[in-house]
Structure 1
Amino acid sequence: MTTRTNPTPPAGTSAGRARRHAGRPRVPAAPRGAAARGRTLAAAFDSRHNALDVLRLALALTVAVVHTMYLGLGHQPQAGSTDVGSLAVDGFFVLSGFLVARSWLRLGSLRRFLWHRALRILPAFYVSLALTALVVAPLLAVLSGRSATSVFSGPDSAVGYVTRNAGLLMRQFGIAGLGDDGSGSVVNGSLWTLFFEAACYGIVAGLGVLGVLARRRWVVPALLVLLWALTVSATAGYNPVGSELMLRFAFIFLLGVAGHLYADRLPLSLPLAALAVALVAAGLALLPDYRALGGPAFAYAFLYAVVRLPLRWRPRWDLSYGVYVWHWPIALTLATAGLAGAVGPVFVPLSLAVTAVVAALSWRVVEAPALSLKNAAWVTAGRVRRP
């Protein structure tokens, strides 16, 4: 969900390009016949012309629309047993798994891998925590008829919001009772997924250190079979894992990882994509957790969309993460100010417009400068240079 780098080009390049990219990990080579016709993910994928950036931004906007409708209008759209926002988050995890697997294989270093992932997820997260505590919470208090300083005292203070959530695991969702809709005080209901994404990064790092991603790729399908079986079991009422959320995200994320590792063997066809969509729809209609039936199909549909959708826009500014991190407190502030009732149907586009501005500032001031430190001297020290 949070990395912008596209995977390395699949096989099928000319000899000159092969020499320029010698020694670099890449999506496994497809058979010549399949490559010529683009029948596999590896053959069809072009690192410069794909729908990854557009899909990620569309998923972030989907989550933002769903949450804004909930905060301003009191309801959110459902797709059978699952809300649409959850489906969008699952899509993020599929694409993130695909990209993060590539990141490990490209970097080949635990230190560099963890540094790159930390730079992508943590700076904007910490800025969000700080500004929510120091700016958004006092503003919400004033709009609610309270003193701005009231948020800095009490058991759920603004200070506690920063310190208790600094480890990425959201242990305090509210600040001084602000934003309470009857089910609890929540000043940013989007940040909780970031802990699980970071945990999935840890899974990839562990598999990489053990050599699974480079040499023993069969371990990943074995893990997926196990996770799928556990998902079916949890849907039937018995979850030996305990954490339904960790099971959900690990399963979906590793499906994206497998898509990268087996890109040379993953066939692409419109009938298969249509069947995948049908399986997902059936899971949504028939089961409390669609992933028990349609988890792999969901991942396939997204990977198919990456290479088959005619969307090739690659924006210079990546707003997807900023939109995801900031839309909730912005919509909550506007709703608390009474704009949801005042502007009615245009509340959602108004909130999204403000969110887009803040997301642009987040990219320009926080995220892009942080990402420029990816190749800092201390993290690349001792790196073996390839000829």
Structure 2
Amino acid sequence: MTLRNALLERPNSLNLLRLVLAGSVIVGHAWPVGREGAAPGWVESVVSLAVPGFFCLSGFLIAHSRMRLPLGRFMWNRCLRILPAYWVVLAAVALVAAPLSTLGGGVWSASEAVRYMASNAALRQFTWTIPGTVDGWAWNGSLWTLWFEFIAYIGAGVLLSIALVRRHPATVSAVLYVLGAVSVWWMFGPGGISTDLFRDLAWLGTYFLAGMTFYFLSGRVPLDARWAIVSVACLALFLSLEWAHFAGGLPLAYSLLWAGAVIPARWAQRNDVSYGVYIYAFPVQVLLEWFVPGLGVALHIVLAFAITVPLAWTSWLLVERPAMRLKHLDLRRDHPRVPPRREPTLAP
């Protein structure tokens, strides 16, 4: 059986994997947010793969979506998936969490809250704090990746609009992946590039390209536990050698895709709360530390999950899922209504 058979022609557990990755971000943030210093080395190594893992899965899913949809409809769907919930979490932090935090000290300013929402509205994080609240801590240290995610959407959308690329997508994506990996190696090594904007774009973009490459090769790549074992072993080796940031894309992507095909959690296809967990966890953790400092890592993690998961479900039910129902909205006037095509649940 190939990856295409396992992931595109039958139910899969990719939503569950994204939820696990989002949960691991909560674990990783527990030490710095809880003022417990750095996480243990093995925890840091595992958690450091969470965001790259998201990008691997996104590359696979986004390539699938773009190859099925015209560019305009593809970008409309991507905006619906990421922006409404993002804007709501900005408002929730600025207008609910920040005022609530003043019960533990500080002063909330409506003008600063509006500035926080307005300056961050386009996904790029320009304002991290709301002055006067929580001693100037960053309110949501997880949102920085979303700008890079959206840039990847645009890049994939435009790239796969080129006729030559659409005829040879596997070759093009594989070549770009290799070029990306080399550029990341150079930036972090001999090039000495220190600008996070360029480093993060190349780093996360390379993982995204790894997922795209596996999508286009999915009809030829087998679903094989031996391949998964080798991938995990390579990933562990690269982590030990500190090579994972430029060489970990393919083994991480295959490991996750294999797990998504074989883990029996088909129920996860119907509901995807991973995005909500990702965007709400950090402000929840900030409030926990603000109101109940010194909880200890274990209790901090348990309480963070207990509060974040209901918020994520609420976001899914009231914001994300209703927004996604607009995917088939016909934006053209005076056009005969055509029954919408049923989209596969694979597409995020």
**1:313-352 to 2 correspondences below 5 Å:** 313-314=267-268, 316-338=270-292, 340-341=293-294, 345-352=298-305
Using the TM superposition, give the Cα deviation of residue 73 of structure 1 relative to its aligned residue in structure 2, in angstroms.
5.2
Larger RCO (CA within 8 A; separation ≥ 6): 2
Q: What's the counterpart of residue 126 of structure 2?
A: 171
| 8 Å Cα contact 1:173/1:186 also seen in 2 | yes
1:142 and 2:97 equivalent? no
Q: What's the counterpart of residue 272 of structure 1?
A: 227
Using the TM superposition, give the Cα deviation of residue 384 of structure 1 relative to its aligned residue in structure 2, in angstroms.
9.3
Q: What's the counterpart of residue 116 of structure 1?
A: 77
| 8 Å Cα contact 1:68/1:348 also seen in 2 | yes
Q: What's the counterpart of residue 362 of structure 1?
A: 315
Quote the Cα distance in structure 2 between the aligned partners of 1:281 and 1:83.
9
Q: Residues 256 and 212 (structure 1 numbering): CA distance in 2 closer, same or farther, change over 3 Å?
A: farther
**Structure label with greater radius of gyration:** 1
Q: Residues 347 and 316 (structure 1 numbering): CA distance in 2 closer, same or farther, change over 3 Å?
A: same
Using the TM superposition, give the Cα deviation of residue 93 of structure 1 relative to its aligned residue in structure 2, in angstroms.
0.7
Deviates more, 1:200-209 or 1:295-304: 295-304
Q: What's the counterpart of residue 353 of structure 1?
A: 306
Using the TM superposition, give the Cα deviation of residue 383 of structure 1 relative to its aligned residue in structure 2, in angstroms.
10
Instruction: For 1:41, give the aligned amino acid.
Output: L
Q: Residues 102 and 281 (structure 1 numbering): CA distance in 2 closer, same or farther, change over 3 Å?
A: same
Q: What's the counterpart of residue 4 of structure 2?
A: 42
Instruction: For 1:146, give the aligned amino acid.
Output: G
Quote the Cα distance in structure 2 between the aligned partners of 1:91 and 1:342.
29
Deviates more, 1:218-227 or 1:166-175: 218-227
| 8 Å Cα contact 1:326/1:358 also seen in 2 | yes
Deviates more, 1:294-303 or 1:254-263: 294-303
1:281 and 2:236 equivalent? yes
Q: What's the counterpart of residue 31 of structure 1?
A: none
User: How much identity, in percent, do the aligned residues show?
Assistant: 37
Quote the Cα distance in structure 1 between the aligned partners of 2:273 and 2:339.
33
Instruction: For 2:283, give the aligned amino acid.
Output: P
User: Pick from 255, 263, 286: which aligns with 1:309?
Assistant: 263
Instruction: For 1:378, give the aligned amino acid.
Output: L
Instruction: For 2:142, give the aligned amino acid.
Output: S
Instruction: For 1:350, give the aligned amino acid.
Output: L
| 8 Å Cα contact 2:128/2:138 also seen in 1 | yes
Unaligned runs of 5+ in 2: 342-348
Q: What's the counterpart of residue 203 of structure 2?
A: 248
RMSD: 2.7
Normalised by the length of structure 1, the TM-score is: 0.79
Matched position secondary structure for 2:267: coil
Deviation per CA, 1:184-212, whole angstroms, max 9, x where unpaired? 63000111100000000011111121135
Unaligned runs of 5+ in 1: 1-37
| 8 Å Cα contact 2:98/2:130 also seen in 1 | yes
| 8 Å Cα contact 1:81/1:285 also seen in 2 | no
Instruction: For 2:256, give the aligned amino acid.
Output: F
Higher normalized helix content (fraction of residues): 2
**1:1-387 to 2 correspondences below 5 Å:** 38=1, 40-72=2-34, 74-75=36-37, 77=39, 83-107=45-69, 109-143=70-104, 145-147=105-107, 150-152=108-110, 157-176=112-131, 178-180=133-135, 185-211=137-163, 214-217=166-169, 218-238=171-191, 243-287=198-242, 289-314=243-268, 316-338=270-292, 340-341=293-294, 345-378=298-331
Aligned length: 337
